[in-house]
Amino acid sequence: GEIIHGYWRIKSDQNLLSTATGAGGSTLDFNIPRETLAPFIRDFAARTGISIGGMDIAFPSEGGPPVVFEVSPIFDLNPEPPSEWSGRPYKEYKQTDDFMQRRAEVYTQCAAKIIDFALK
């Protein structure tokens, strides 16, 4: 298995429970440790039989394994914004033409990887 897309959702208030990227002025950080996460993701996929999907996970502040909140075979791909959007609410970026263009590019890349996976 391979992690083909991911990000940390950074909330302006940790008491906000919504997982939506537009809620509460959250920002996204696309620099995730894919190699560190890969064993957990591969094990989860093997145990559940879910080979393609999107998942919301969190890491307890006191340590321990990740907590999986949601897994879905249907998921959206939020593209990484240009660097000038770093630290700004992602909800605002989603209103730009650049978002729409980058989203289409990410969809194309993801679709190609899913097709390659399915043909193997």
DSSP string across 59-118: --TT-SS-EEEEEESS---PPPPPGGGTTS-HHHHTTSHHHHHHHHHHHHHHHHHHHHHH
Q: Is the pLDDT of residue 93 over 90?
A: yes
Q: What is the pLDDT of residues 28-71, one digit of tens each?
A: 889 999 998 999 999 999 999 998 999 988 888 788 888 898 99
Whole-number pLDDT of residue 18:
59
